[in-house]
Structure 1
Amino acid sequence: MAVTINDIAKEAGVSLATVSRVLNDSGYVKDETKKRILGVIEKHNYSPSAIARSLSKNITNTIGVILPDITNPFYGEIIRGISEIADKNNLNILLCDSNESAEKELKAIKALKDQRIRGLLLTPTSVDNDLNSDYSKAIYNSNIPTVLVDGYLRYSNFNSVLVDNLKGAFDATEALINAGHREIGILTGRMTSVHSKDRFKGYQKALMLNNIPINEDYIFYGDYTFNSGYMQAKEFLKLNPRPSSIFICSNQMTLGALKAFKEDGLDIPRDLSIITFDKIEILSALGLNISCVNGDSCEIGKLGMQILIDELNNSDGCKQRNVTLTPELMLLGSEKKF
């Protein structure tokens, strides 16, 4: 049977508070009493629960992380970056998956607050701007130091780490234009998302600056999921004539679209050229080199975690920090026109 702090106090003939002061090295305890308590602790090889010790101090060494889809490799890399910095600072991670639900996010924040987390890293779900004000207030009212990672909330001033989505989409579309394409389709993400809007604006900007008319028939609206990529790609394939290229605004939608293109017997890029937003490592391993805009999600996680630590330590005077990373355009051949 495990020895408890109550057992230690009883055998040493002292109060729980006295044992707690010895364990936490806080407050005065007579040398003789301290020696007696430590002797009992050593005798039973007693190790106090880290949770219990942190709760006694009303603070934990845990950082809450809420992401919209932990099965997505993009967010997996964010977790890897967060964990790397957390480990170096002896911090624990408590991870929640919101499944793109604002209600689940707020529920997770409440649960994490009950766990007395020190801070929060959050990728807010894509919600209409009309909801953002109340949503932001709910997060503010939690009184948890919060940094947004790859996320944006209107009406808020949280510290954040973002990717320049407009530039990434512009560069991707211009790469297709430079490869000789004039008919360029786009598969967008959920248009309630600022990310999606910026990527769509980047696509439009590249076309306009190159005097290419925007064809509404070439615009397909997805929701960042595999299934929407597959279904919208099926609709794209019905176009006659069909654009020679397509810019797909997320990795999961690209995987769904590739399934549809394969079922139709298309060869990439001989029959259709593609650039995607977000790198898809598994495709290279399978010998399919798809050009992409790489936002370096691992670096997003690292920077987000470091900014939160700085905020907790007040190391930069609590000045607001909003970091925007410039994504890398990786041309691997799938943008070429044949």
Structure 2
Amino acid sequence: MSERKVRNMVEFAEVSGLSRPTIAKYFADPASVRPQTRQRIEAALVRHDFRPNLFAVNLNKKTSNTIGVVVPDTTDPFYADLVRHIELDCAANGYLVVVLSSHGDPRMEARSMDSLLMMRVAGAIVAPLGLDTDVGMVDSLRARVPVVFLDSRLDDRSPFVGTDNFQSIGLITEYLCRTGDRPTYLELPAVNHNGDQRRDAYVRTMERLGLAPEVITLGSAHSWRFEDVGHAETLRLLEGTGLPTATVLCCNDRLALGVMAAAYQSGIRVGRGPGCQLRVAGHDDQPHSRHLCPPLTTVAQDVRQLGSRCVDILLARLDDGADIRPEQIALEARLMMRASA
């Protein structure tokens, strides 16, 4: 049973009978105070059921044990999986993680980075929007703490960990050309640099194979609601001139989900078996992709490695205390052959 309700560090110091600096020293590093003092503090913590405000503790410390992470959308299965691995790796190294979402909005992205500065995080992992990112705010952040870019590269002044889009798109394009009708490519809305790279990789691969590329462009579409975009664009084409070929390669799995829903709505059977009229493939291998009906053929980004390499690079920069050469890491993807293509 707790005694007097304690609201802050000052009151906790008072009820525990110790000085405020001693309490602050304990919360910064419990091993830094004498064993008897530590036992006394921990008994008072239990007795008064007190939990310190960790952000306030960080503000009073020269160094922080908090890592900031900014992603475009925490509800996106790809980013949710990435964040899960980052949190686990950071926890194993004694760091807490604060995750903020920009929701695809450059103003919210800038606000998220500003919030990390106010929290005095030790370092940051940022998956930038890219095309509309406030570069000035990024510069302010990396002038104060080490920053690692994740998934989408902004520039080469900071370390970057992502997927080799030319390898991954080349791999699945070649597979689709080998096993059926040449693929039409459904590009990503204009949201980050990955979309441009993957479209260019598709075009280069088709030309290398001596085939005519077919790209469904989305113009100025700027939405992160990829399922809705894929669904609406596919319905528009099916109700008009039709799809250019009987195979659609989507820039990511979420677009593919929308394409498959539109095909079902139009009475078109997706797959590669008897009676199937359309093959659909994606990119990413998000957690739900293997459970679609039919399961989605795609290329799998190595989410585990993407997260762990980011954490390793960031912690190395924190340990060294020096601005080492910014690594630019592009990991290879694996082909996942399933029933949709």
How far apart are the structure 2 equivalents of 1:264 and 1:11? 70
Q: Deviations over 1:178-226 (max 9, x none)?
A: 01323x21111134632111111111112111111234xx423265511
- Cα RMSD after superposing both structures: 3.1
Deviates more, 1:40-49 or 1:81-90: 40-49
Q: What corresponds to 1:2 in structure 2?
A: 5
Report deviation, 1:94.
0.8
2:226 matches 1:220: no
Within a 5 Å distance, the mapping from 1:162-311 to structure 2 comes to 162-182=162-182, 184-191=183-190, 193-215=192-214, 218-221=215-218, 223=223, 225-237=226-238, 238-240=240-242, 242-269=244-271, 270-311=276-317
After superposition, the Cα gap between the structure-2 partners of 1:69 and 1:133, relative to the gap in structure 1 and judged at 3 Å, is closer
2:156 matches 1:119: no
Report deviation, 1:231.
1.3
Q: Deviations over 1:126-147 (max 9, x none)?
A: 315xx77545434434x12111
Report deviation, 1:317.
7.3
Query: Normalising to structure 2: TM-score of the pair?
Result: 0.83
2:99 matches 1:90: no
Q: Give the aligned length.
A: 324
2:150 matches 1:149: yes
Q: Deviations over 1:157-192 (max 9, x none)?
A: 11110101122111111111101323x211111346
Q: Deviations over 1:286-315 (max 9, x none)?
A: 542221011122321222122111111128
Q: Deviations over 1:253-289 (max 9, x none)?
A: 1111111111011111210111101114334335422
Question: 1:166·1:200 contact (CA, 8 Å) conserved in 2?
Answer: no
Q: What corresponds to 2:82 in structure 1?
A: 78
Larger gyration radius, structure 1 or structure 2? 1
After superposition, the Cα gap between the structure-2 partners of 1:36 and 1:230, relative to the gap in structure 1 and judged at 3 Å, is closer
Structure 2 SS opposite 1:125: coil
Select which of 56, 60, 65 maps to 1:61: 65
Specify every segment of 5 or more residues in structure 1 that has no aligned partner in the other structure, as ranges. Answer: none
How far apart are the structure 2 equivalents of 1:220 and 1:229? 11
After superposition, the Cα gap between the structure-2 partners of 1:279 and 1:24, relative to the gap in structure 1 and judged at 3 Å, is closer
Structure 1 SS opposite 2:180: coil
Structure 1 SS opposite 2:277: coil
How far apart are the structure 1 equivalents of 2:242 and 2:310? 45
Percent sequence identity over matched residues?
A: 21
**What one-letter code is carried by the residue in structure 2 that aligns with 1:273?**
R
**What one-letter code is carried by the residue in structure 2 that aligns with 1:228?**
V
Query: Normalising to structure 1: TM-score of the pair?
Result: 0.84
Structure 1 SS opposite 2:282: strand
How far apart are the structure 1 equivalents of 2:229 and 2:277? 22
After superposition, the Cα gap between the structure-2 partners of 1:303 and 1:35, relative to the gap in structure 1 and judged at 3 Å, is closer
Report deviation, 1:232.
1.3
After superposition, the Cα gap between the structure-2 partners of 1:20 and 1:149, relative to the gap in structure 1 and judged at 3 Å, is closer
Question: 2:260·2:280 contact (CA, 8 Å) conserved in 1?
Answer: no
